Amino acid sequence: MQTNSHLSVLIHEQAKKYGAKPALTFRNFGSLKWKTVSWNQFSMRVKEVSNALLNLGMKPQEAIAVFAQNCIQYLYTDFGAYGVRVVSIPFYATSSEQQIQYMIQDAGVKYLFVGEQEQYDKAHRILSLCPTLERIIVFDPSVRINTHDPNTIFFEDFLKLGEGLPREPEVEERWAQANYEDICNILYTSGTTGESKGVILTYKMYQAALEANDKCVPVSENDRVINFLPFTHVFERGWSYLALSEGAQMIINTYPKEIQQSMRETHPTCMASVPRFWEKVYAAVKERMDNSSAVQRKLFYHALNVGKKRNIQYLARGKRVPLALEMEYKVVNKAILSLVRKQMGLEKPNIFPAAGAYVSPEVEEFVHSIGLNMLVGYGLTESLATVSCDHAGKAYTVGSVGRPIEGIEIKISDEGEIMLKGPTIMPGYFRRDTTNAEVFDKDGFFHTGDSGYMKDGELFLKERIKDLFKTSNGKYVAPQMVEGMLLVDKFIEQVSVIADQRKFVSALIVPEFRVLEEWAKENHIEFKNREELCQNKRVNAMMRERIETLQQRLASYEQIKRFTLLPQNFSMESGELTNTLKLKRAVVNRRYQDVIEKMYEE
């Protein structure tokens, strides 16, 4: 049963309820060994952080920031800050020096908590440029602190300031003063266009979100929830706090690239993720099947078909499964589908929320068919994650983003824009009065910039309004939909569709080089480097054939007519991706202008 108290005391309330029961499973920086702390230990560490922050003189609604990957210290710091009404601002662990300098200055951050060497080095370089910043506190004890840096301490030494809880009466006083109008977090949007803006998240928004999600998302104290997305991401943050409020055990995965190994080692029952994770799982399983014997292939695809019939044609539509089909599903589930899930470490799967980008219906069907309950949803940082999602026990449609959560009012404008109102919608961007006046209308509805429609109580997305491309022939193309169709292919890692004011659709494609290089060797194609591989005629012919198969469902004006294979990935370092791995199209188009123009030559 959920404990929906003020976040300042949530962990302490859960400690009273669950005591010595495991709360957090984690690995220390650089360690391969998983450890566990109880709710009582979690509560004590949070109290120590609260006491230490008071000893450093933090006043209500002053700001700290956390610049780190997911780790146990991150949760201690956040909840310790909430305990003394201090605003906690999360930075992506991959943020640049310019980005963290901007956010520190914009929010007036006093103390910056950093994870590992990379974050410390960046923070140290900008320390003198940020007048409000008094101290850096380092989570990883192996970090080498600059010998000329008197302003940095390790987290262990910071905790000693709260050892024995010397300021506990004052901490409890802050708990009593805590209210739901206080700012809890400021989350800076990753900014695919223009300057990053700070989204204000209040305790009132969290309270409403936790209450609404509790009614439709079946996570409980029996679950083991693994973190895949960074806590900086509003989806992971909201989902994690929901899990903690339900008493679930949390498994903290520090390094995203190790997620599949972590899953196999810790056997979670739930995980929130972006669709790209499942696209890669789908491509990997298909590749494994393509390389197996004809008999194995036949058995697997038969099992998948049975899973699809049961889980999508019947259960998804709220229909009762015929007895014969249920019996057949039990057989193929035990013999085949359970083995697929076991290879992922998902022996006892519960739910797997997915949001943050276009979910290919093909991938969604596959995940449900192998017996995993993917809850597709839609939300924004400005709505504290969930606007809508598939509701437990209710029919859902593959291709929708579920039903609105309780309290959210959705209005579709004449232009098809999704507009939102309700207790989980932000009060505004931090110190951005002009922008706030633009994004809220006179009736208080927030303009999302996304287009969509409602049908039978479910929300369907069309595209970001500003992302819709208009070809020179006057036809509209939705790039994310086209990209989503291609990304399910095992040979394709990244795609950027080009179409705006062009006479046809083209694309820049980054291949999945491990798979492509393997294929090239099998087909006796010689190449000295990736540039040569990408220019090879046979490689391009093979890719063209696959692309044409993938886009058969598209109208002819939406189909990719020409493409170029790129020898290097789009990356955050080169400025082509945001911290949430969304494409910065303007940057990509500028960088590859010559390549793009070549595709449009007669």
DSSP state of 227: E
Average pLDDT over the chain, rounded to an integer: 93
Question: Are 328 and 257 in a shared domain?
Answer: no
Same domain, 525 and 394: no
Give the residue from 255, 271, 287 where a domain finishes: 271
* Structural domain includes residue 189: yes
Query: Does residue 1 form part of some domain?
Result: no
Q: How far, in Å, CA of 249 to CA of 226, rounded? A: 9
**What band does 194 get if pLDDT is binned at 50, 70 and 90?**
low
Looking at residue 221, its pLDDT comes to 97
- The answer, yes or no, to whether residue 214 has pLDDT greater than 50, is yes
**Whether residues 92 and 240 fall in one domain:** yes
Spatial strand order in the sheet of 22-27:
34-38, 22-27, 249-252, 224-227, 270-271
Q: Are both 69 and 214 inside the same structural domain?
A: yes
Tokens found for residue 516: 């492509």
Predicted local confidence at residue 402, as pLDDT: 95
Of the candidate ranges 60-74, 266-280, 471-485, the one whose mean pLDDT is the lowest: 471-485
| 350 inside domain | yes
Question: Are 39 and 128 contained in the same domain?
Answer: yes
How many domains is the chain partitioned into structurally?
3
Q: Please give the pLDDT value at position 220.
A: 97
Q: Which of 91-105, 173-187, 566-580 has the highest mean pLDDT?
A: 173-187
Do the Cβ atoms of 350 and 272 come closer than 8 Å? no
Q: Where a domain ends, among 271, 293, 319?
A: 271
The span from the CA of 482 to the CA of 467, in Å, is: 12
- State whether 523 and 430 are in the same domain: no
Q: Is residue 3 part of a domain?
A: no
Q: Strands 417-421, 409-412: parallel, antiparallel or unpaired by DSSP? A: antiparallel
Structural domain harbouring 502:
468-599
Angstrom distance (rounded) from CA 326 to CA 31: 44
Residues 522-533 have a mean pLDDT of 93
Pairing of strands 198-202, 458-464: unpaired
Q: Which two tokens stand for residue 77?
A: 């710091």
User: With contact defined as beta carbons under 8 Å apart, do 417 and 461 qualify?
Assistant: no
Per-residue tokens: 526: 């010689």
Going by DSSP bridges, is the β-strand pair 183-188/198-202 parallel, antiparallel, or unpaired?
antiparallel
pLDDT for 467 equals: 67
* 4 in any annotated domain: no
* pLDDT, average across residues 98-114: 95
Question: Both tokens of residue 174?
Answer: 């802050």
Dump the DSSP string for 338-397: HHHHHHTT-SS--BEEE-SS---HHHHHHHHHTT--EEEEEEEGGGTEEEEEPPTTS---
Q: Domain check: are 120 and 170 in the same one?
A: yes
Distance (Å, whole) CA 217 – CA 23: 20
Asked whether residue 250 falls in the same domain as residue 284, the answer is no
Using DSSP, state whether 84 is helix, strand or coil.
coil
What confidence score (pLDDT) does residue 473 get? Answer: 67
pLDDT higher than threshold 50 for residue 103:
yes
Q: Is residue 253 domain-shared with residue 312, that is, in the same domain?
A: no
How large is the average pLDDT for residues 216-237?
Answer: 96
End-to-end CA distance of the chain: 65
**Which percentage of the chain shows pLDDT scores above 90?**
80
CATH number of the domain within which 505 lies: 3.30.300.30
Q: Is residue 489 part of a domain?
A: yes
Mark out the alpha helices in 523-572 (DSSP H runs): 530-535, 537-550
402 and 255 inside one domain: no
Supply the pLDDT for residue 110.
98
Choose the weakest-confidence range: 22-31, 330-339, 358-367, 533-542. Answer: 358-367
pLDDT exceeds 80 at position 581:
no
Report if residue 361 sits inside a domain: yes
The verdict on residue 5 lying in a domain is no
Tell me what pLDDT residue 289 has.
86
Q: Are residues 79 and 176 in the same domain?
A: yes
Q: State the CATH number of the domain containing residue 95.
A: 3.40.50.12780
331 Cβ neighbours under 8 A, 6+ residues apart:
none
Question: In 185-194, which positions are buried (b, 16+ CB within 10 angstroms) versus exposed (e)?
Answer: bbbbbbebee
Distances (CA, A) of 71 to 77, 120, 374: 10, 15, 25
- Of 271, 298, 330, the residue at which a domain comes to its end is 271
Q: Do 230 and 281 share a domain, yes or no?
A: no
Distance CA 352, CA 225 (A): 10
Average pLDDT over residues 169-182: 96
Q: How confident is the model at residue 192 (pLDDT cuts 50, 70, 90)?
A: very low
359 pLDDT more than 90: no
Residue 252 near residue 25 (C-beta atoms within 8 A): yes
